[in-house]
Chain A
Amino acid sequence: MKPFVQHEGLVAPLDRANVDTDAIIPKQFLKSIKRTGFGPNLFDEWRYLDHGEPGMDNAKRPLNPDFVLNQPRYQGASILLARENFGCGSSREHAPWALVDYGFRVLIAPSFADIFYNNCFKNGLLPIVLPAEVVDQLFRETYATEGYRLRVDLPAQSVTTPSGEVFRFVVDAERKHRLLHGLDDIGITLQHVAAIRAYEQRRRQDAPWLFVNSAGVENS
């Protein structure tokens, strides 16, 4: 996983609450068995005027000029400003994959859905929760200033506006540590193999039925 330390980038405002993962990446694109290539279909139904299917040449499809990410001033945005409960619905990790593939590195919202929030950290995408009033202010400033950029500092847990205003955010120490160093969760867990085996042994004594499969055969 790509480490995340600091990031400075252009902000795009997505002014809707409860943006669900079906909207972030519609189901027809979930048929892929790869992790990459979802960016062109991010927000597909809002972004294009026609109906998208896998295998289409997205460069040739008609863009919806009203959709915010299609406006010239937001081209190259890497920070997405959103409203409450962003990422609700399906657990599909294709949603963060699509956001990352498109070029986003930071999401800012008053709240995120749990599974989505968790999935972001596994993909080097930093979801930042700021109070609703602050998010409101950032929306106003983004609309008011073309080329509005924010600076995000993970070690300092801060977001800095162009005028130098600083907002602090909260992130779990462990998540922060893993993201800062781009650590792989499985690698970390495998350092605890002895503890896992000890747990299993204890559990097998207390609750042996958990280790018996359908045929009544005990598994190792």
Chain B
Amino acid sequence: MPSRTLYDKLWDAHVVHVEPDGTTLLYIDRHLVHEVTSPQAFEGLKLAGRKPWRPDSILAVPDHNVPTADRDKGIADPISRLQVETLDANCREFRLTEFTMQDRRQGIVHVIGPEQGFTQPGMTIVCGDSHTSTHGAFAALAFGIGTSEVEHVLATQCLWQKKSKNMRIRVEGELGRGVTAKDLALAIIGRIGTAGGTGYAIEFAGSTIRNLSMEGRMTLCNMAIEAGARAGMVAVDDKTIEYLRGRPYAPQGAMWERAVEYWRTLVSDPDAAFDAEVEIDAATIEPQVTWGTSPEMVVPVTGRVPDPAGAPSAVKRADWERALNYMGLAPHTPITEIRVDKVFIGSCTNARIEDLRVAAAVVRGRKCAPNVKLAMVVPGSGLVKAQAEAEGLDRVFREAGFEWRDPGCSMCLAMNADRLEPGERCAATSNRNFEGRQGAGGRTHLVSPAMAAAAAVFGHFVDVRNLQ
């Protein structure tokens, strides 16, 4: 057999049928479902008199619309409530596993999959959500799909796909103190652009990636879609396997041994060919802050807001001008002079226990700056929340003036009550700084959890590397 990349191996293992033009019917092992992109799919399924092909492949959870405070009072917004109730009803009708809003395992779909061991190496994993790329951290082929495809997977356990090209992003060396996987992700997007990975499946490789924790790898793969790639992935190593050991949905006993033996093969062959290669020196990466309305509009914290006059093309110049206008920023402003109104620590990018620990370490013994109107921590899942509380992190945040909330997507996309008001500026650990994403007219700066925590304390961006 010729040398293959990790992506090639994952792809080959799931081919059911191939059309003459290469369009492939691919088998899907795991289907994650949330309330926003599934109602129309279930409706279509029912109208056609069909049933889910493999109910055991599905895990459902409401996350986008759920309130993050006073949860026992239910959902106030009737339209949001109907959407969550619709998910509950569909899961009941088809006997699907659902972590309902009251379940302590409930959380953001991309946090709970790995946490439960539902996400495993070698699987194809889909969800009606673009950040499904997160699960690629486990050497799975995981990608976001639209609602028609959600219905298709429900009905057939398969999807029609064209194979992507292979890209390897190799990062070598040690990340500096205070520099995290989030900074690495933003720096990569700044380098290759938000369309740089379009048409590719990206494998993140190199010593820096091997040294990242599973949480860090998830953060990185989460943002592959922000670089245009539907799927990002990292090869299996001991960390992958140790992370999964003993998790509720992970294989047990003899089955575990068999699985591990297979998982060990999920690495790119040494001489496998990639269609594109990018090399990054970890030592050159500084903490990053986005200044615009696309994740590629990013600079190091030591930098300044760029001048559209220096943009590489006319289209880009117009884009930058529009972005600065929307963000209310003047060219050449030092990043550390940008003041924030709100701070959001959460989302499927950065709401895992490790993220909360890093943020708490910055906040400990300090207070939020007076100009910060709201600083909130929204844990990625009920179990992350419980773990953080067991470690006393909730007290650290509360004492500093942060709100400590219940798990969900929250202000990452502001479908629930958590949002920015027009003109408000936010340091956010989420993944998208699009216009209006965190609330109409809201201004988002994407940063790491440590950088967000520091912005809360100082009221403006600071270089976390300078903190004690």
Q: Taking beta carbons and an 8 Å cutoff, which residues of A are in contact with B?
A: 15-18, 20, 22-23, 26-28, 30-35, 45, 51, 54-55, 83-85, 88-94, 96, 111, 113-115, 118-119, 122-123, 172-175, 185-186, 188-190, 192, 195-196, 199-200, 203, 207-214, 216, 219
Beta-carbon contacts under 8 Å, B82-116 to A: 82-83, 86, 97, 116
CB-contact partner of B56 in A30, A190, A192, A219, under 8 A = A219
- Show 7 residue pairs from A and B whose CB-CB distance is below 8 angstroms, ordered by the A residue: A30-B415, A33-B40, A93-B128, A93-B148, A175-B23, A192-B16, A211-B56
Is A122 a contact partner of B27 (Cβ separation < 8 A)? no
- The answer on a CB contact under 8 Å between B258 and A208 is yes
Asked whether B54 lies within 8 Å of A219 as measured between CB atoms, the reply is yes
Cβ contact within 8 Å between B432 and A16: no
**Minimum CB–CB distance for B131 against chain A, Å:** 9
CB of A45 within 8 A of CB of B436, answer yes
Report whether B440 and A26 are in contact in the complex, using a CB–CB cutoff of 8 Å. Answer: yes
Q: How far is the CB of B56 from chain A (nearest CB, A)?
A: 4
Contact of A20 among B43, B65, B123, B434 (CB under 8 A): B434
Is the pair A189, B156 in contact by a Cβ cutoff of 8 Å?
yes
**B79 an interface residue at 8 Å Cβ cutoff?**
yes
Q: B467 contacts the other chain (Cβ, under 8 Å)?
A: no
B390 at the interface (CB under 8 A from A): no
Contact between B434 and A89, CB atoms less than 8 A apart: yes
Chain B residues, Cβ within 8 Å of A89: 130, 432, 434
Listed in ascending order, the chain B residues whose CB lies under 8 Å from chain A are 16-17, 19-23, 25, 27, 29, 36-37, 39-40, 43, 48, 50, 54-56, 64-65, 77, 79-80, 82-83, 86, 97, 116, 118, 120, 122-123, 128-130, 143-149, 151-152, 155-158, 160, 162, 164, 194-195, 198-199, 228-230, 248-249, 251-252, 255-256, 258-259, 262, 294, 315-316, 318-319, 322, 413-415, 422, 432, 434-437, 440
Contacts of B77 in A (CB 8 A): 31
* Residues in B whose Cβ lies below 8 Å from that of A55: 79
Q: Which residue of A lies closest to B132 (CB)?
A: A91
Known contacts A93-B146, A118-B146; is-contact A209 B251 (Cβ 8 Å): yes
| Cβ–Cβ contact B440 & A122, under 8 A | no
Q: Is the CB of A199 within 8 A of B39?
A: no
Q: Check B27–A196 contact: CB distance below 8 A.
A: yes
Contact B27 A115 (CB under 8 A): no
- Give the distance to chain A from B452, nearest Cβ to Cβ, in Å: 21
Q: How far is the CA of A27 from the CA of B411 in the complex (A)?
A: 12
For B229, list chain A residues within 8 Å (CB). 114
Q: Is the CB of A208 within 8 A of B255?
A: yes
- A154 CB to nearest B CB, Å: 15
Query: Lowest 10 CB-CB distances: which A-B pairs, in order?
Result: A93-B146, A219-B56, A33-B39, A119-B146, A122-B148, A173-B21, A209-B251, A174-B23, A91-B144, A85-B195
CB < 8 Å neighbour of B440 from A51, A199, A203, A207: A51
B249 contacts A172, CB within 8 Å?
A: no
A-B contact number at CB 8 A: 199
Residue in contact with B80 in the complex, picked from A31, A188, A208, CB distance below 8 Å = A31
Q: Hey, which chain B residues are within 8 Å of A208, CB to CB?
A: 255, 258
B426 CB → nearest A CB, Å: 15
Contact indicator B25/A22 (Cβ below 8 Å): no
B393 CB, min distance to chain A CBs, angstroms = 28
A22-B435 contact, Cβ under 8 Å, with A111-B198, A216-B252: yes
B322 touches A16 (CB 8 A): yes
Q: How far is the CB of B192 from chain A (nearest CB, A)?
A: 12
Residues of B within 8 A of A195 (CB): 16-17, 25
A188 to B152, CA, bound (A): 11
- Nearest to B154 among chain A residues (CB) is A186
Distance to closest chain B CB from A163 (angstroms): 25
Give the nearest-CB partner of B436 in chain A. A45
> A189 and B97: CB pair below 8 A?
no
Least distance between A117 CB and chain B CB atoms (Å): 9
Residue from the list A119, A189, A216 in contact with B148, Cβ < 8 A: A119
CA separation between A17 and B293, bound complex, in Å?
Answer: 11
If the complex has contacts A16-B319, A92-B37, A203-B27, are A27 and B415 also in contact, measured as CB distance less than 8 A?
Answer: yes
Chain B residues whose C-beta falls within 8 Å of the C-beta of A200 in the assembled complex? 27, 157
Report the separation of the CA atoms of residues A17 and B297 in the bound assembly, to the nearest whole angstrom: 13
CB distance from B309 to the nearest CB of A (A): 18
Verify A23–B440 contact, CB threshold 8 A.
Answer: no
Query: How far, in whole Å, are A187 and B377 apart by their CA atoms in the complex?
Result: 46
List chain B residues, Cβ under 8 A from A114: 164, 198-199, 228-230
Instruction: Pick the residue among A54, A115, A196 that contacts B230 (CB under 8 A).
Output: A115
| Residue contact B434 to A17, C-beta cutoff 8 Å | no
The minimal Cβ–Cβ distance linking B333 to chain A, given in whole angstroms, is: 22
Name the residue among A20, A26, A88, A123 with the largest chain B CB count within 10 angstroms.
A88
Shortest CB–CB separation between residue A120 and chain B, in angstroms?
Answer: 9
Q: Are B86 and A33 in contact (CB under 8 A)?
A: yes
Q: A45-B440, A209-B255 are in contact. Are A54 and B79 (CB under 8 A)?
A: yes
* Complex contact A31–B318 (CB within 8 A): no
Q: Which residues of B contact A212 (CB under 8 A)?
A: 251, 255
Min C-beta distance of A28 to chain B, whole Å: 7
In Å, the complex CA distance between A111 and B198 comes to: 9
- Take A33-B39, A91-B144, A122-B149 as given contacts and tell me if A196 and B128 are in contact as well, using a CB distance cutoff of 8 Å: no
